[in-house]
Structure 1
Amino acid sequence: MQFRPKRFIKPIINIAPLIDVLFLLLIFFMVTSTFIEQPNIKLELPSTKHTETSRTEKTVLMLSRDGKVYLKEKLIDKEDLEKVLRRILLDTGEDVLVLKADKFVPYGDVVDIMDFARGAGFKKVIAPTITEGEMKQ
């Protein structure tokens, strides 16, 4: 009795369903993710040719053109600023402060705010800018 030789069939992995599932997951996470909204405080940031980007969440303090100080869209008195910053530093433990100041704010006001931040215990104060390309858009 003679047996026929078995032919070896190479297994095929169909990845089309895997790609479909990955695209569905991508769409799901894009739709359900939260978007960081910028507050409605009108600031005109100074511009630079080169900028360094950072995507981490930090304490953001805004100084408007008329000299008002905002923290998370809440108006803060300058007299209470150091106390508020010290409380935030104790609550979050984040010792980096982002100071978004309008480009028309007097330099002395910016230095005063930076001094308050240092007095509250912040180790680093970042002043973000926008690139000239972003200004044209």
Structure 2
Amino acid sequence: MINISKKNIKINIIPLIDIIFLMLVFFMLATNFSEKKEISFKLKTNIETLGDNEENLLIYIKNNSFFINENSLNNSDIEEKVLSYWNSKDYKNIIILNDKNSNLQKLIFILDILKKNKIKNVSFADDPKL
């Protein structure tokens, strides 16, 4: 019978750490990192090309202020006004016109309101008057 003393047994952990490190590097390199995706869209060159204005609810963002069908709106009641205009007539589309000087956050704010209320018929246009 072979007698082995327990005092002489040592587990060397350094090779185990090396293997774990190599596995970590392998999985990091093998992982597909998601790329940022861009949304590409073309602006209509003129507001008149979008069709009849009676069917379109026009939201203007000019000088960081909101206008709906040329009526000025406050930032506090913009959601209520957009929904009341949208529900008051049989609009088919919402057209957002943003001037070059306006903040992009204003556009995103309007898009968030429309998405929250499940309004999907949204178009962007460029108005040379802005």
Q: TM-score range by the shorter chain?
A: 0.5 to 0.7
Pair member with larger Rg: 2
Residue 61 of structure 1 corresponds to which residue in structure 2?
A: 59
Counterpart code for 1:94: Y
SS of 1:109 mapped into structure 2:
helix
* Deviation at residue 85 of structure 1 after TM alignment: 1.2
Q: 2:96 aligns with which of 87, 94, 99?
A: 99
* Deviation at residue 50 of structure 1 after TM alignment: 7.2
Runs (5+) with no aligned partner, structure 1: 1-47
Tell me the matched-pair count: 84
Contact 2:44 2:50 in 1 (8 A): no
SS of 1:56 mapped into structure 2:
coil
Identity %: 13
Contact 1:63 1:101 in 2 (8 A): yes
Alpha-carbon spacing, 1:119–1:93, altered in 2? closer, same or farther (3 Å)? farther
Which 4+ runs in 1 deviate beyond 2 A?
A: 48-53, 117-122
Runs (5+) with no aligned partner, structure 2: 1-41
Contact 2:66 2:73 in 1 (8 A): yes
Deviations 1:1-52 (A, max 9, x none): xxxxxxxxxxxxxxxxxxxxxxxxxxxxxxxxxxxxxxxxxxxxxxx79748
Distance 1:54 1:80 in 2: 27
TM-score in terms of structure 1 length = 0.51
Residue 15 of structure 2 corresponds to which residue in structure 1?
A: none
Distance 1:92 1:101 in 2: 23
Contact 1:69 1:75 in 2 (8 A): yes
Q: 1:82 aligns with which of 71, 79, 82?
A: 79
TM-score in terms of structure 2 length = 0.53
Contact 1:98 1:127 in 2 (8 A): yes
Alpha-carbon spacing, 1:120–1:83, altered in 2? closer, same or farther (3 Å)? farther
